[in-house]
Amino acid sequence: MRKFLLLIRRFWTLILFISLEVISIYFIAKSRSTQGIDVINSANGTVAYFYRKEQNIISYFNLKKVNTDLLKENTALRNQLFYRQSVDTFKTVDAKIPIFDYDKIDRDQDSNALAPVTMTITENPPLKVVRYAQYRFIPARVINNSISNDRINFITINQGSEAGIKPGMSVVSSVGIVGRVEHVSKHFATIASVLSNRKVSARLKLHEAFGQITWIPGHPDFVQMDNMPITLPIKLRDSVFTTGFASFPANILVGRVSHIDTVKSDNSLSLRIRLATNFRTLAFVYVVVDGMNAEKENLEKKDRSAR
Amino acid sequence: MSIYLRNIIRFVLLILIQVLLLNRIPLNWWAPPYIAFVYPLFILLLPISTPTTFLMVFAFFTGLTMDAFMNTGGIHAMACVTIAFSRRKVLAFFLPQRLSEYQNATPGPKIMSWGSFLAYAAILMLIHNLVYTLVEIWALQSFWYYLAKTGITFLTSMAFVVIYLLLFTKSVNIKAFD
C-alpha cells in the first residue's frame, strides 16, 4: 500500500495531466454527439449574459445598416400591399333568362308549358383580372429638413432622377403624408412638405366628407380643414385620410382631429388636425410613383380644354 | 499590486481581448478561415515558481472558459492542459537558475531576453495550436491542410502575442531595440 501511495506521489503530475485530458476528451465527445447535451456551451447563463451585454453595446454600431435594411423591406412590403389592393376581378356569369310562352295554343296538352325555359348565354366564363393605378414606392433618406419657414418648408432627400423621381410625385412617410416633390437633380430631390401653402385634399374616415387641408403657419404639427358642414357629428381624434384624387394614393393617414371650431359667419366647422407625421424627427420617406398618373392627367387636360 | 491581483486582471483582459476582438476577426489570409489565439499567454505568464499541478488546473479552467465562449466542447481545455504540462521543461531550458529560485517572478522579456522569451512562447504556442487544430479537424485525412492551418494560426497568434507584450509590458527591455 505504501509503495502504491509513493507511486501515486511520484507520478502525481502525470496522473493529474492524464485525468484532466480525459475530462476534456469527455467534454469534447459530449459536444460532438448529435443530441446537443454538451456540458460547456455558450447557452450557459454567465456566458449568455456576457454575450447579451456585448450585443447591447455592439448593436448600436450597425443600427444604420439595420435601418437601411428595414427600409428596403418596408418598401418591398408596401409595393406588394398596393399591388394587391389595386386588383379587381370580375367574371362573366351565366345568365339564366326565364322564357314563359304564354301565347302557345296547345297549352293544355303540355302540362310543362309553364315551366321556364332557361337559356345559357355564355359558357365557361374566363376570369378577368384588372390592374390599375399601380403605385410604386422609392425609399429615401432625409438629409435636410426645415420646419421653421413661414410660407413653404422644403425637405431634401438623397434620391434623385437616377432613382426615377420626377417633380410632382407625392411623398409619404411610414405613418402619414409628407409632401410633394418640387425639384429634382441627379442624386437629390427637394420636397415641398405639407407644411407649406400647397393644399391637399383629404376626407374624414367615418363620415366620408372631404375637403382641403391647409397648413397653419407657425405650427409644424397642425393643419386646418375648413368649411366642413356643421351637421357632421365629428368627434375629437377622428382620423383623416387622403382621398386619392390628386397625386397621393388613397387612404393614407393625414392625422387626427384635435380641435373643432364652429365658424359662425358661414355656419361651418373648422377642424384642426394634428399631423400623423412628425416633421421634427423625419428620417426616412417613400416617394410614390403613380404608374397611371400620366394617363390620368392627359385625360383631365382634355376636360380642361373643353371647358 | 499583488501577484494574484495582477494575474486575475491579466486573465480577464486576455479573455476579453480573445472573445471581443480576435474571435470577431476570422482571418482569411490563406484558404481556411482561422482565428488567432492570444489567451494562452495567461498560462505562459503565470509566475515561474508555480507548481505544474496548479498550472494544469488553472489552464484547465482557462480552457473551459474559452470553450464556453466558443462552443468548442473541451478542445481549448485539452490544448491548455497540454501546454501547462510541458511548460516547466521548456522554461527550465531557457532559464539559467533553478525554477524555484525565481520567487514571484513572471517569465517575460524582463527576466529572460526577448529572443529566449519569444522562443519559449513560440514552442508552447506551437504545441497549443498543434493540439487544438488536430482535435478540431479530428482527422488526418488531409495532412497538408492540417499543417497549413496550424502553421498560419501559429504565425498570426505569435504576432498578436508580440503586440500584446509590447502594449502591456511595463518596462520593456530597451536594450533589445538598440
pLDDT digits (tens, 9 = 90+) for A118-150: 555 555 666 666 666 568 888 888 888 888 777
Shortest Cα–Cα distance, B54 to chain A (Å): 10
Residues of chain A found within 8 Å of residue B60, distances taken between Cβ atoms: 20, 23-24
| β-pair type (A268-275, A253-263) | antiparallel
Give me the phi and psi of A79, to 5 degrees please.
-60, -45
What does the pLDDT look like over B60-97, one tens digit per residue? 999 998 888 887 778 899 999 999 999 988 988 888 77
pLDDT at A87: 67
Residues of chain B found within 8 Å of residue A17, distances taken between Cβ atoms: 56, 81, 85
Q: Is the pLDDT of residue B109 over 60?
A: yes
- Where is average pLDDT lowest: A40-54, A96-110, B72-86, B118-132? A96-110
- Distance between CA B97 and CA B93 in Å, rounded? 10
* B136 at interface of A, judged by CB pairs closer than 8 A: no
Shortest Cα–Cα distance, B117 to chain A (Å): 25
Residue A120 DSSP symbol: B
Residues of chain B found within 8 Å of residue A24, distances taken between Cβ atoms: 60, 63, 74-75, 77-78, 81
Chain A nearest-CA residue for B86: A17
pLDDT at A283: 84
pLDDT at B130: 92
ipTM of this complex? 0.84
- The SS3 call for residue A95 is coil
Q: What is the band of A228 on the pLDDT scale with cuts at 50, 70, 90? A: confident
Chain A nearest-CA residue for B63: A24
> Alpha helix locations (H) across chain A?
2-10, 12-32, 45-58, 63-85, 293-306
Asked if B69's CB is within 8 angstroms of A47's CB, the reply is: yes
Q: A38-52 burial, b if ≥16 CB within 10 A, otherwise e?
A: bbbbbeeeebeebee
pTM across the whole model: 0.57
| Mean per-residue pLDDT of chain A | 79
* A17 at interface of B, judged by CB pairs closer than 8 A: yes
Which residues between 47 and 106 in chain A have a beta carbon less than 8 angstroms from any beta carbon of chain B? 47, 50, 54
* A15 at interface of B, judged by CB pairs closer than 8 A: no
* B53 at interface of A, judged by CB pairs closer than 8 A: yes
The shortest CB-CB distance from A27 to any of B19, B20, B73 is to B73
Is residue B37 within 8 A of residue B22, CB to CB? The reply is: yes
Q: Is the pLDDT of residue A107 over 60?
A: no
- Distance between CA A215 and CA A200 in Å, rounded? 10
Pick among A16, A34, A40 to test the B interface (most B CBs inside 10 A): A40
What percent of chain B has a predicted confidence (pLDDT) above 90? 33
pLDDT at B178: 44
